[in-house]
Chains A and B, each alone.
Chain A
Amino acid sequence: MTSLASSKYETYENDVLIIGAGGAGLRAAVEALAQGASVGVVCKSLLGKAHTVMAEGGIAAAMCNVDPADGWRPHFRDTMRGGKLLNNWRMAQLHAQESPDRVRELEQWGALFDRTESGNILQRAFGGHTFKRLCHVGDRTGLEMIRTLQDRGVQQGIDVYMECTITRLLKDGDRIAGALGYWREQGRFVIFKAKSVVIATGGIGKAWKVTSNSWECTGDGMALAYEAGAELLDMEFVQFHPTGMVWPPGVQGLLVTEAVRGEGGILRNKNGERFMEKYDPKRMELSTRDVVARSIYTEVKEGRGSPHGGAFLDISHKPAEYVKRKLPSMYHQFKELADVDITKDPMEVGPTCHYMMGGIRVDAETGRTSVPGLFSAGEAAAGLHGANRLGGNSLSDLLVFGRRAGFAAAEHAKGTAAASIDSAQIDEAERQLLAPFERTTGENPYTIHGELQDMLQALVGIFRTEEDLVKALGELQKFKARAAVMRVEGSRLFNPGWHLSRDLQHMLVVAEAVTRSALARRESRGAHSRIDFPKTEEEWGKKNHVIVRKGEAMTLIEMPVREMPEELKQILAEEK
């Protein structure tokens, strides 16, 4: 069977195949390599361009360099409270315990963080974190992390397959056997054979209209895993970051780092009122993201918004040199794209779809999914952040669980013989991929994508109701029908329209999972706000939502939250 498939297609073989070259994928690759596996990393863009480069504020890790009272326990407590206790507590524990070592490791591989007076890694305040915890490099921490991991991986000998999109996971019976993809440049199909596959494809923001995410964030890994039989967890929890740019139109949604507030930025409405006093007088601007996003949204909705429909975020009371030093990319971003000098004038900001707390259901220790040989880490995986993620906990998530998934994937590969790939599944996938070229009628994928974004923004946004969500499910069926007959023009040579036609299918799967889960959760918790069920209900705090494929149908299951051990309960109970 294998020879048949490989004679027709370009084929590569690695012990471990990692899909996605952001922080989680690269950290997994470095670890799998260290365990002696041969490792391939496949990514949709050029190496080093993954969405992790956009991470600005920092990596949350209780290093205790600035606040000696910090430690893994307070970090665990903040993470659980931020996630409204729906988090996988074991992941939250491992994350808090291991992130300092993961940061030190980056430093040992050449990362250069900002320093304290005594020469240690400097840490800054961030929303929901009790102590100054975020290790950072100005406001370009993600770039530093990507470069460090990229250089490490390349030097250690990972095989990188750039500008390649995976369109299907290949299986041998129940177990994973590899993946099928196409080279974006030439449009040729390619097969990757592997004993273990790690999904590290990041988020799904591009399904919404106003988003901080790049074109790559189309939920590929979640959809691929779902189609291969894995489970999706807590998909209703989509984070809207409170501060995206609102003007000019071309940059609407672009991230304005939380570090602006971490460094002392103040939010005001058009009347000059510091409105966070009303919503969270204790934590003010450094409240959790779900709260700040809803507060800005409410101010705008009630007529107190800025001229372009946002809030004012002001850092101009700090010395200009300080602002330029600590927030250089924000300074340039506003100066060049919005004609605003943030050292003198306030920024206009509003909520933007930013991060997916939900994702592939994984084992806390190993990142293992329910499909043998399939692992996941980073934003594509779920569990750590519960109902709401704290700023800075994403980069540390990538490092801690990227490493764990890479380790487990390599271990799994050691004990496994090569799988065989049945060519029938490849032929079918190929037929589906090429069908849009053969149609003489049908819509342009850009049109369908644009309308999908508008629909999700309107009906599955920050505030949700049963009526909207039911309507959204109906709309999704119509979008699916339109996407099934869309048409692509041109050739297979680097054709973004064709690329989008495939990514759109992934977005539709994930959007449906989000909508179904949001409809089922009849309460408000963290990032999930139901106007018709505004309270957080204790009973709902005991349930996670799991989405699985039953035949062709998407099915939702309620799963009890696992009981927390006594020692962790005690940490949570402590007041801080």
Chain B
Amino acid sequence: MADVTLRVFRGDGNGGGPVDYEVALTPGMVVLDALHAIQAHQAPDLAVRWNCKAAKCGSCSAEVNGRPRLACKTRMDALPLDKPVVVYPLKSFPVIKDLVTDVSWNYKVNAKIPAFQPRPGVKWAMEQRDVDRAQEFRKCIECFLCQDVCHVVREHGKLEQFGGPRFFVRVAGLEMHPLDGVSRTKLLKEELGLGLCNITKCCTEVCPEEIHITDNAIIPLKERVVDEFYDPLTMLVRKIRGAKTA
């Protein structure tokens, strides 16, 4: 089959630029296969994260022709091959080398979220229809494509005040667990900056697990925050009885 050109970012924290590589196209080839072919034959030090090659681990995230995608799931034959296939690292995170970025911020955000805690005395029985809702969020493979594409991170860099779609999904999975007994609404409002999200749905568009991030996670969480903190009746009650911590 024909050769195709991959234009891959090569560089590190000090800078870098695109380098072109010719790769022989094989049937069913995905972008990650092409990157591996470059590693094996042309540039053994080309840095790219990967693990499962089956869209289950979320390691090989990159920007292919400007769009955040999993390299293992992006078919070469679905891209225009008459011009170079451009592969760049995730723009929102600092480059370590080539396609590998520093995603440690995500782990810091994650550590702020209180784990699942069952309500006291719960009976360990759940209906499938009650579990379905939270299971959708637990499909997340932590590829961080949603974090990469989110304006609050990408354009505004508000890392300190913001959790990002990935962690709204995680919180939703905990909040909507049928037996969970912890409230995370105060955390969402005050530390994870849920209010900064203006529901443009970019995160939903790039999710490889097809999680309805905006509709099923973010909007219901926003409603919970509103109910808790901005509902006039609740505010009045709180004023009379004194502030109660969420």
Contacts and interface: CB of A to CB of B under 8 A. Distances in A.
Interface of A: 45-51, 53-54, 104, 107-110, 112-115, 118-120, 122, 137-138, 140, 143-144, 147, 151-152, 154-155, 160, 162, 185, 214-216, 247-251, 254-255, 329, 332-333, 336-339, 444-447, 450, 488-491, 493-498, 500
A110 B29 contact: no
Contacts of B48: 496
Given A108-B124, A143-B56, 17 more contacts: A45-B57, A51-B51, A54-B57, A115-B131, A122-B128, A143-B141, A214-B50, A215-B50, A251-B28, A254-B54, A255-B54, A333-B54, A336-B73, A337-B28, A339-B28, A495-B44, A497-B39
Contact of B127 (A115, A137, A495): A115
Contact of B107 (A47, A147, A152, A215): A47
Contact of A337 (B58, B73, B125, B128): B73
B45 A496 contact: yes
Given A51-B51, A336-B75, A154 B139 contact: no
A250 B128 contact: no
Given A53-B52, A112-B131, A249 B45 contact: no
Interface string B68-106: 000001010000000000000000000011101011000
Contacts of B141: 53, 143
Contact of B51 (A49, A333, A336): A49
SS class, residues of chain B in contact with chain A: loop
Nearest to B13: A493
Given A137-B135, A444-B44, A107 B124 contact: yes
Nearest to A113: B131
Interface residues of B, number: 57
B28 A46 contact: no
A248 B47 contact: no
Interface stretch (B108-116, B197-205, B238-246): B108-116
B148 interface: no
Interface string B1-23: 00000000000100000000000
Contact of A247 (B28, B44, B97): B28
A251 B75 CA distance: 12
Contact of A49 (B54, B58, B75, B115): B58
Nearest to A116: B128
B100 A494 contact: yes
A122 B132 CA distance: 14
A490 B44 contact: yes
Nearest to A446: B40
A15 B95 CA distance: 34
A215 B53 CA distance: 10
Interface string B141-156: 1100000000000000
A256 to B, nearest CB: 10
A497 B44 CA distance: 5
A137 B140 CA distance: 13
A151 B54 contact: no
Contacts of A490: 44-45
A445 B127 CA distance: 52
